[in-house]
Structure 1
Amino acid sequence: MDNSLKGRVALVTGGTKGIGKAIADRLSSEGCKVVVTARTEPKENPNGHYFIASDLTQPESAESIAKEILTTFGRIDIIVNNAGANLSPGGGFSTLSDEHWITDWQLNFLSVVRINKALLPVMIEQKSGVIINISTGAAKQPIWEMTMSYSSAKAALNIYSKALANELGAKGVRVNVVSPGVVKTPLMLEFIENLAKSSNIKVDDAFKAVMDKVGAPLGRMADPEEIANLVAFLVSPEAKYITGINYSVDGGALPVV
């Protein structure tokens, strides 16, 4: 993209591992000044991303993140709301407590709403900015025994993102969604291991069960870099007429067009 992102300030939540790290590293390689958040600072940070420790399930975290970014850099050009996780146990509705539902919605939906609300006034004042909300294919294809509360929170994120894109288009701010399928991340591998333990089956069998449920024709997990490639394009000027779209990166798993 010929360094079209050089000098842009980008925030990537959950940016120290998995998909978030791949996105942060890719944006950095394109010339962005990258800010990443996570609960704990990584032991290694070879690309020198600016780190802010934060627990996004806490309502006050968004304002403190926004204040530090604007104090340090004076602007924000790109927000990638990547932080999220399927934290609840499998087994369907009867296994989910109020706490499970609240935790999944705090992390996967409300944290995004808060981050955007805290930083959007600056983008609107600049008359420019891009927001990418990372969702999941499970928001369209929920797996009741694995992702019920997580899927519902991400489905809300999809609707919110479309509404936000409609509101902000005339103000120079674009909003899009990227919905990965099964991605080879530490969190996904941990999820499969936990599924194997809870189901009393081998890890290989748990992986096969997940892939059978997802039904991706490509027959494999995505690499985090494959998600990052799309995000890097969508935040670039080359995508300046694209807003309000939800992109599936799922190896063909979604059974409709």
Structure 2
Amino acid sequence: MDTLAGQVAIVTGAAQGIGRAIAERLVDDGCVVAVTDRQESVLDVAAEIGATGFVGDVADAAHVRSVVDGTVAAHGSIDVLINNAGEVKKSGPADDWADAEADFDRLFDSNTKGAFLFGRAVAPIMADATRGSLGGNIVNISTDHVKPCPDCDRHHGHGAMDIYNAAKWALNGFTFDWAKSLAKHRVRVNNICMGATDTEMIRNYFRGDPDPEYVAKWMTPAQIAQIVSELLAEGRDGRTANSIGLYAGYDCVMPPPE
């Protein structure tokens, strides 16, 4: 297993929840970390954990370039990208027509376009021949909606979340294609497909009042951050093009490589 000490990492959507937990863990692992979020509180998070903070929308190409170029200017390169930014909203095929396009743009921007832009920006850096065999890691934070637990009694999807689900399925396309395209440069690309995790986002989805019995099964952001740390620590010869399933109500442990 490779050490993470000294590796330069970018974590998106890091003002709270899973993004913040991953950023904190990477700092603890010895990484040099840059965090970004459209919430200005990400600057407070950066100050608290010893990271560099940027404020902006991941779907804004100019913001993405400022984060990536600023990080390279300060630290020389980028070794790790955690595409965590995203949001969830109920939607379905019978929704009001007037809202449909705005919901589509909002959810694809945050869940898919941002990951696309950051991936496009960092891939040439990670694949730069001057880095030798250093390689790199891109981790896309996805959902168990695209990889249900093996014994779940539902098919792929969820119901009442068609745009969110489509955006995460689209993320699969980038993950698996990038993994194949970048393998010769020893850049690994993987999905974390986790179920319900106790964050502000999911509590807001349930209007702040989820079923306590359901909440008791939720994972914690720190558990997801642990899995991300283990994935990165596998090193240059670790798994790639994997969708790592983590499920509420199950032990939150790293599964074997696919």
The TM-score normalised by the length of structure 1 is 0.83
Work out the CA distance in 2 between the residues paired with 1:239 and 1:73: 20
Verify: 1:240 aligned to 2:237, yes or no: yes
Name 1:185's counterpart in structure 2.
199
Equivalent residues in 2 for 1:12-23, closer than 5 Å = 12-23=11-22
Work out the CA distance in 1 between the residues paired with 2:235 and 2:186: 15
Name 2:113's counterpart in structure 1.
110
SS at match of 1:138: coil
Verify: 1:144 aligned to 2:159, yes or no: yes
SS at match of 2:26: helix
Q: Deviation of residue 252 (structure 1)? A: 6.1
Work out the CA distance in 1 between the residues paired with 2:241 and 2:71: 26
Q: Is the 8 A contact 2:8 2:77 kept in 1?
A: yes
Verify: 1:129 aligned to 2:130, yes or no: no
Work out the CA distance in 1 between the residues paired with 2:193 and 2:236: 17
Name 1:220's counterpart in structure 2.
217
Q: Is the 8 A contact 2:186 2:237 kept in 1?
A: no
**Could you list the runs of 5+ residues in structure 2 that have no partner in the other structure?**
148-155, 251-257
2:227 counterpart letter in structure 1: L
C-alpha spacing 1:173/1:204, structure 2 compared with 1 (3 Å): closer
Q: Deviation of residue 123 (structure 1)? A: 0.5
Work out the CA distance in 1 between the residues paired with 2:82 and 2:35: 10
2:60 to 53, 58, 61: 58
Name whichever of 243-252 and 233-242 sits farther off: 233-242
CA-to-partner distance for each residue in 1:95-134, whole Å, 9 max, x for gaps? 2511111111111111111101111111001241111010
Q: Is the 8 A contact 2:19 2:85 kept in 1?
A: yes
Work out the CA distance in 2 between the residues paired with 1:34 and 1:238: 18
Aligned length: 233
CA RMSD between the two structures: 2.2
SS at match of 2:61: coil
Name whichever of 221-230 and 33-42 sits farther off: 33-42
Verify: 1:28 aligned to 2:27, yes or no: yes
Name 1:215's counterpart in structure 2.
none
Q: Is the 8 A contact 1:183 1:223 kept in 2?
A: yes
**Could you list the runs of 5+ residues in structure 1 that have no partner in the other structure?**
195-202, 212-217
Q: Percent identity?
A: 29
1:178 counterpart letter in structure 2: I
Q: Deviation of residue 237 (structure 1)? A: 4.1
Work out the CA distance in 1 between the residues paired with 2:210 and 2:190: 35
The TM-score normalised by the length of structure 2 is 0.83
Q: Deviation of residue 180 (structure 1)? A: 1.1
Name 1:200's counterpart in structure 2.
none
Name 2:152's counterpart in structure 1.
none
C-alpha spacing 1:118/1:238, structure 2 compared with 1 (3 Å): closer
Q: Is the 8 A contact 2:193 2:244 kept in 1?
A: yes
Verify: 1:97 aligned to 2:97, yes or no: no
Q: Is the 8 A contact 1:136 1:179 kept in 2?
A: yes
Q: Is the 8 A contact 1:41 1:51 kept in 2?
A: no
CA-to-partner distance for each residue in 1:68-111, whole Å, 9 max, x for gaps? 1111111100000000111x334x21225111111111111111
Q: Is the 8 A contact 2:218 2:249 kept in 1?
A: no
Work out the CA distance in 1 between the residues paired with 2:90 and 2:230: 35
SS at match of 2:34: strand
SS at match of 2:122: helix
C-alpha spacing 1:75/1:238, structure 2 compared with 1 (3 Å): closer
